[in-house]
Amino acid sequence: MWRAGSMVAWVGSRLQAPPSTLSRSLICAQTKIFGCDRVKLMESLVVGDIAELRPNQGTLSLFTNEAGGIIDDLIVINTSEEHLYVVSNAGCWDKDLALMQDKVKELQNTGSDVGLEVVDNALLALQGPTAAQVLQAGVTDDLRKLPFMTSAVMEVFGVSSCRVTRCGYTGEDGVEISVPAAEAVHLAMALLENPEVKLAGLAARDSLRLEAGLCLYGNDIDEHTTPVEGSLSWTLGKRRRAAMDFPGAEVIVPQLKGKVQRRRVGLMCEGPPMRAHSPILSTEGAMIGTVTSGCPSPSLKKNVAMGYVPSQYSRPGTLVLVEVRRKQQAAVVSKMPFVRTSYYTLK
C-alpha cells in the first residue's frame, strides 16, 4: 500500500545537485475528518488553534498526552470541501489512528456530528528552490497564489483529484502532493521526466531538515518530551493556551513561563560529526545531555546537531563538550535554523 509511502524530489542547489529531487523519504499517513464537530474533535487531541484556520490553510500541530508528552507531530488542513485533512507519521500510524477513532466514538456517543475516513493515497514531495517552476508545467492553477501552508485540489500532469500543499520538511520551498495510489508511479515518472528533478534519499532529506532545525519524531521529540522542552512552544495556539483545553495543558502551560528543566538546542562543532546518542558534557566533563540528531551540514561545511541540555546551558554561545568516538570535542550551542528557511509567502 502506498498510504505509508512518499516520494520526495529535490529541485535546487542546497544539496549541490540538480535543481529538483524526488525520493521515498517522507513516510506519512493521511486521514479526513468530517462533520460539524470536526474542529471540536481535533482540538480535543492537539495543541493548535484549528478553528482559526482559513479555508485551505494548514498548520503543524502536535498530539499530546495528559502528561504533556508529544504523541506525534502532524499537519492539519482546513479544506474548502468541509473536512479536515490530516497528515501524520506512518511510524505512529497505529496509535494515531486509534487515538482519533476512539475520540470519534466518544463524541458520537454524546451526539456530536463527526466521522473519520482513512485516505489510501500516496504522498509525493517535490522540494527545492525551483520546485514550483517544475510543477507549474503540469498544472493549470497559478502556483504563485499558493503560499506556504496552503492547499488546493487540482489536476497534476494529467492526474485528477490531487491535493497539492505548499509545504515540506527540508526548509526549502516545495509541495507535497496527495495522489491516488494507482496513479502514484505515473505522477512520479512524469515529474522525473524534467531533467532538473532527481530522486533524493532519506539521508538527503534528513540533512536538510536538520539544517532547518526541524524535529524528527522518535529522535528529537517523543511521548516523554513536552512542546516547551522541544522548543515547539509556537505550535500552542494563543486561545488554546488561555483556555488550557488540550491534553497535558496543566503540565505544558506553566512551562511557558520558564518552569522547564531542559530544552532542545542546536549544536555546532568541527572535527568528527556528532551523531544521535552522543553524550553532551559540561566544560568540566559532567554529562548534561544527549545528542538526538546530528550530521555534517552540506550547506555550511560544518557539523550540526540538536539535543537536550539543562536550561542553564541552553543560551546560544554556551560552550559544551560532545563525546564523539570516545573522545571529547568542543561544541557551541547555536540558534536554529542553522540555514535560513526559504518558504514561499505572498508579498
Annotated binding site for substrate: 176
**89, 96 Cβ separation under 8 angstroms:** yes
Q: Which amino acid is at 124?
A: L
* Cell numbers placing 11: 529541485
* Cell numbers placing 229: 522542552
**251, 259 Cβ separation under 8 angstroms:** no
**222, 276 Cβ separation under 8 angstroms:** no
Give the distance from CA 64 to its chain's centroid.
15
**SS3 state at 191:** helix
Query: Phi/psi class of residue 245: alpha, beta or left (left: φ > 0; alpha: ψ in -120 to 50)?
Result: alpha
Find all residues with CB under 8 Å of 63, minimum gap 6, and list them.
45, 46, 70, 71, 72, 73, 74, 88, 96, 99, 247
**323, 294 Cβ separation under 8 angstroms:** no
**SS3 state at 95:** helix
Half-sphere exposure of 314 (CA within 13 A, CB side): 18
Give the distance from CA 130 to its chain's centroid.
21
